[in-house]
């Protein structure tokens, strides 16, 4: 039973109603499409500039920062994708907050609030590092990246633990599927981040050919697994609708 989702409202007061699956797909497709566009465009039209490093050694892939923030039209496309998807991500964070209030044991609800706080800060940090690029505002970009990574890793861990250990009810099959994806994507994300850090340090200290390519590749995996983790909301709210009306605001409904 999902009492929070069974609110009744005057149909005339409903501002919009759409399947959550559609919202989740749109929220994912904007940054995912923008990311692939930026990488492919950089490789096709800005290969030399985007793959150059201070070591001046052979490199075959642009870093994420170079692909999304250093050249046009990649910079504009990425910023537009992040700008458009931010309200959707914040709306999903609010929906998760209501979800945790309903389904997490009362003694652990502070963890639900913490998860939503980390999610929102992660979203805002992503916005900042996208609009203040490393080429133009290095310190701001660096600080935003540190906040983004810290909040991202912590959010994924807390979110997984909330859904695995602190639920009041037994998980449904599609929720179990979501939990498995959360675990696997989190583990791959952490390993890829560690390997990216190792390759970055090794590149800067030894200037070996090809090492920066592996750094960029592991960066891509970090980005894609992060997107995939947030996409698991598709199964968390399977078959539900997002409704917004004048009385209740934004909430989920089974009808």
| pLDDT tens digits for range 122-172 | 999 999 999 998 878 889 999 999 999 999 999 999 999 988 876 667 777
Q: Is 107 helix (H, G, I), strand (E, B) or coil?
A: helix
Residue 228's alpha-carbon distances to 90, 116, 177, 245, in angstroms, are: 17, 17, 13, 30
State the pLDDT confidence band at 11, using cuts at 50, 70 and 90: low
Per the domain annotation, does 49 fall within a domain? yes
- Provide the number of structural domains found in the chain: 1
pLDDT of residue 166: 67
- pLDDT bin (cut points 50, 70, 90) of residue 24 is confident
Inside any domain, residue 157: yes
**Mind spelling out the 3-state secondary structure of 171-226?**
CCHHHHHHHHHHHHHHHHHHHHHHHHHHHHHHHHHHCCCCHHHHHHHHHHHHHHHH
How far, in Å, CA of 178 to CA of 171, rounded?
10
Q: Is residue 1 part of a domain?
A: no
Residue 205, pLDDT above cutoff 90:
yes
What local confidence, expressed as pLDDT, does residue 168 receive? Answer: 65
Q: Per-residue confidence at 6, pLDDT binned at 50, 70, 90?
A: very low
Query: Domain for residue 194, yes or no?
Result: yes
Q: Is residue 75 part of a domain?
A: yes
Structure tokens at 111: 């963890």
Q: 132 near 176, Cβ under 8 Å?
A: no
* Band of residue 5 on the pLDDT scale cut at 50, 70, 90: very low
pLDDT of 18 over the 90 cut:
no
More confident of the two residues 150 and 4: 150
- The model carries a pTM of 0.89
| Integer Cα distance of 126 and 152 in angstroms | 10
- Percent of the chain scored above 90 by pLDDT? 61
176/239: higher pLDDT: 176
pLDDT at 152: 97
Residue 4 lies inside a defined structural domain of this protein: no
Report whether pLDDT(201) > 90. yes
Per-residue pLDDT at 21: 84
> Which residues, in sequence order, are CB contacts of 24 under 8 Å at separation 6+?
92, 231, 233, 234, 237
Higher pLDDT, 235 or 251: 235
Question: Mean pLDDT score of the chain, rounded to an integer?
Answer: 88
Residue 118 lies in a domain: yes
- The boundaries of the domain holding residue 192 are 15-254
Q: Does residue 6 fall inside a structural domain? A: no
pLDDT tens, residue by residue, 42-90? 999 999 999 999 888 999 999 999 999 889 999 999 999 999 999 989 9
d(CA 220, CA 239): 31
The pLDDT of residue 134 is 80
């Amino acid at each position: 039973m999902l009492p929070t989702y069974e609110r009744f409202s005057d149909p005339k007061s409903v501002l919009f109603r759409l399947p959550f699956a559609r919202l989740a797909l749109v929220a994912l497709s904007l940054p995912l499409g923008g990311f692939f566009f930026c990488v492919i465009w950089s490789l096709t039209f800005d290969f030399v500039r985007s793959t150059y490093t201070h070591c001046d050694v052979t490199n075959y892939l642009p870093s994420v920062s170079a692909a999304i923030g250093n050249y046009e039209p990649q910079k504009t496309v990425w910023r537009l994708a992040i700008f458009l998807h931010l309200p959707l991500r914040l709306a999903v964070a609010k929906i998760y907050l209501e979800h945790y209030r309903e389904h997490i044991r009362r003694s652990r609800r502070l963890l639900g609030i913490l998860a939503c706080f980390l999610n929102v800060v992660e979203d805002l940090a992503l916005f900042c590092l996208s609009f203040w690029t490393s080429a133009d505002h290095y310190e701001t970009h660096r600080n935003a990246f540190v906040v983004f990574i810290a909040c991202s890793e912590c959010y994924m861990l807390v979110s997984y633990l909330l859904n695995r250990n602190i639920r009041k009810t037994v998980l449904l099959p599609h929720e179990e599927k979501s939990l498995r994806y959360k675990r696997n994507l989190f583990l791959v994300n952490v390993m890829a981040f560690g390997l990216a850090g190792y390759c970055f340090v090794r590149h800067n200290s030894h200037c070996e050919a090809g090492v920066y390519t592996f750094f960029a590749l592991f960066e891509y995996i970090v980005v894609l697994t992060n997107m995939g983790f947030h996409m698991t909301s598709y199964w968390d709210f399977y078959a539900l609708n997002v409704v917004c009306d004048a009385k209740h605001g934004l909430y989920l409904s089974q009808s």
